Amino acid sequence: MPRDFGALTMALVLGMVLTRVLLLKKRGIKSMHFGNLDKKDFLIPPFALFYFYTVFADAFGFPGAIGQQFFYSAIISWAGALFCLIGLSLLLWSLISFGRSFRVGIDIDQPDKLVTTGIFAVSRNPLYVAFLFVLAGQFLIVPAWFFAGYFCGAALLMHRQILREEDYLKKHYGEEYLEYCRRVRRYL
């Protein structure tokens, strides 16, 4: 059952983000800016798609490449499902708090206002925290090298992206962003 919930989590994550992108597009807001500043970002989607496939393959018995699990514990698997639920909740709260300012990637052409309310009063990067909760949950559901490696790799890539976004936000919003950084932590 936790494996099914893990697969459902991945579908909901993708569904929430794409729904938000499409809703903003209807309002005339281009929110997809992924890879505009750094073309190496286009190396990420194939790895993400493989990850999605592997989660679904494991849940539904498709051919997959997870490998040997470290151990199995129903309690830890359910704890992973709880982590996934926390991640989904944070993601939803983040998307709501973002409002019209939501972007995938850095929008240097039409940035919106700096969001500092809602979940952004607790964390400067709640979307990334949400994704890390989901990835940690997936690892707890299926404790295998594959998911451990993806968690570590994703954490490094997200941290790299956060640093890039922070550089841009410092330049664009100046003292307003620096004051926000003094009040609110980067992660939690």
The whole-number pLDDT of residue 55 equals: 92
Instruction: Considering only residues 166 and 113, tell me which one the structure prediction assigns the higher pLDDT.
Output: 166
Alpha carbon separation from 33 to 7, 13, 91, 107 (Å, rounded): 27, 18, 19, 6
The domain total for the chain is: 1
The whole-number pLDDT of residue 36 equals: 65
Instruction: Considering only residues 85 and 146, tell me which one the structure prediction assigns the higher pLDDT.
Output: 85
Is 131 within 8 Å of 154 (Cβ atoms)? yes
- The helix (H) or strand (E) run that includes residue 97 is helix 74-98
Tokens of 117: 């309310």
Tell me if 17 is assigned to some domain: yes
pLDDT tens-digit readout, 35-68 = 666 666 767 788 888 999 999 998 898 887 677 7
Tokens of 160: 């790299």
Instruction: Give me the chain's average pLDDT, please.
Output: 90
The whole-number pLDDT of residue 18 equals: 92
Domain span at residue 34 reads 2-58+67-183
Tell me if 143 is assigned to some domain: yes
The whole-number pLDDT of residue 106 equals: 75
Q: Which CATH number does the domain housing residue 50 bear?
A: 1.20.120.1630
Tell me if 107 is assigned to some domain: yes
Tell me if 86 is assigned to some domain: yes
CA atoms within 13 A on the CB side of 59: 21
Tell me if 188 is assigned to some domain: no
Instruction: Considering only residues 65 and 102, tell me which one the structure prediction assigns the higher pLDDT.
Output: 102
